Amino acid sequence: MVSRDEVMAALASIPGPDGRASLADSGALSGVTIRDGKVFVAIAIDPTRAKAMEPMRAEAEAAVRAIPGVAGAVVTLTAESARAVAGASPGHAHESKAPPVRHGRPSEPLPGVKHIIAVASGKGGVGKSTVACNLAVGLAKLGLGVGVLDADLFGPSMPKLFGIHSKPGLAPDGKRLIPLESVGVKVMSIGFLIDEGAPVVWRGPMVVSALNQLLREVVWGELDVLVVDMPPGTGDTQLTMAQNVPLAGAVIVSTPQDLALIDARRGIAMFNQVKVPLLGVVENMSYFVCPHCGGRTDVFSHGGARKEAEKLGVPFLGEVPLDIAIRANSDDGRPVIASMPGSPQADALLQIARRVADTLATGATGAKPAPRIRILE
C-alpha cells in the first residue's frame, strides 16, 4: 500500500514552482489522493506559467510512478487564484491539503424575501403547523405577500392544511420549482413531491440538502414574509435554518401544560444561542369551551405559556382555544382564518398574525443588523 508520506518524500526531491522550495514544501500541492495504488497529485500554479511548469509536472509524475507499489500516477497542474497560491506560505505548507472547500452555503438572504420567520415548538403535537398555516393566511389577509416553507421533512403537514394535492411545476429555467398557491399563500413542501403516506427515511445530511433545495431552488418571487414551519426538536433542521439564512425571528408554539413548556423553553434557549430574536409565544389548546353546555375546561391547564413568556421576557402573542372547528377545518384543508372569518377562533389567530406583522415592521426586540464583513489587503 502506497502511503501519503512516501508520495511526499518523492516530491521532496523536486524543485517547486518557485525553483527554491521543494514541491512537497512549496505549498503548491493542492491535492494528493491515493486510490487502489494509483496516485493523483494536483499542483496549483499561476496559469500564465503553465508551459514553463510542464517539465516540473512531468518530473513529479515520474518520481511518483517510481515509488515501489505505485500502479499509476497522474500529476496535473491546476490554476489556483493568485491569492490561494500566494497565501500558502512555506511555514505550514506541509499541512496544506485541498484548497478551501466550501461546506454548506454561506448565510445568504433569499433574494426577494424580506423576512424569514420560524414557527417552532420544541415539543411535537402542540399544533405548531396549524398555527403556522393560519399565521401565514392571517399575514396574507393583512395585505402582506406571504409564503410558507414546510421544513418538517419527516412529517409534512402543509399539503393537508392548505388542501393542496397537486405537484409543483418547474420554472422555465428547468431547475427551480414553482410553489403552489392556496388562499393567497405560496406553499412549498416535500409532501408535494412524495406520495401521502410514503415515509422520508433520511439521515441528517440529506435533510440539510433537501431543506436548502426547498428554500433556495423555489421561485418564491417577492415576499414580505416567508413562514417556516419547523419540525419539533432542536436538531439538524433548526440548525440549518439558523445557519443558512438570516432569520428575522421565531414564534414558539406551546400548550399550557408543563410537559410541553419544558421543550418550549429548550426551543427558546436554542434560538437565543443562535441569536434569532423571539417574536413571541403562542398558547395553543389554551382552553376548551364545550359546544353542548358552554362550560369551559382547561384541558391542558391554562396560562402556562403566558407565564413562561413573561418569565423569559418574551412577548406573549395570544391564546388559541382547543376547538373542534379549528381541527375539522384543518383536516379539510381550509385554514380557519379564511374559512370562518369573524369567528372567535379566526379572530384569535388573526390577532396573533397582527402582532407578528407589527413586530416585523418595527423590528423584533434584540434584532440587530448583521455586522459588516471586510477583507482588507
Residues in the site for other proteins, rule: CB under 8 A?
A: 83-84, 87-92, 94-103, 106-107, 242-247, 273-276, 368-377
Long-range Cβ contacts of 101-110 (<8 Å, 24+ apart) = 104/208, 104/212, 104/243, 104/244, 105/212, 105/216, 105/244, 107/243, 107/244, 107/245, 107/246, 108/244, 108/245, 109/245, 109/246, 110/215, 110/216, 110/220, 110/226, 110/245
Would you tell me the crossing angle of helices 344-362 and 128-141 to the nearest 10 degrees?
70
Tell me the closest approach of the beta carbon of residue 21 to other proteins, in angstroms: 13
Tell me the closest approach of the beta carbon of residue 29 to other proteins, in angstroms: 11
Cα(187)–Cα(178) distance, integer angstroms: 9
- Cβ proximity to other proteins: between 192 and 271 the closer is 271
Cα(304)–Cα(287) distance, integer angstroms: 11
Cα(153)–Cα(207) distance, integer angstroms: 7
- Cβ proximity to other proteins: between 242 and 261 the closer is 242
Tell me the closest approach of the beta carbon of residue 240 to other proteins, in angstroms: 10
- Cβ proximity to other proteins: between 275 and 327 the closer is 275
Cα(199)–Cα(195) distance, integer angstroms: 9
Cα(123)–Cα(291) distance, integer angstroms: 28
Joined together, the cell numbers standing for residue 51 give 508551459
- Cβ proximity to other proteins: between 66 and 98 the closer is 98
Number of residues that this document lists for the chain: 377
Cα(137)–Cα(179) distance, integer angstroms: 15
- Cβ proximity to other proteins: between 81 and 297 the closer is 81
Tell me the closest approach of the beta carbon of residue 224 to other proteins, in angstroms: 19
- Cβ proximity to other proteins: between 90 and 303 the closer is 90
Tell me the closest approach of the beta carbon of residue 247 to other proteins, in angstroms: 7
Tell me the closest approach of the beta carbon of residue 221 to other proteins, in angstroms: 24
- Cβ proximity to other proteins: between 245 and 320 the closer is 245
Tell me the closest approach of the beta carbon of residue 101 to other proteins, in angstroms: 7
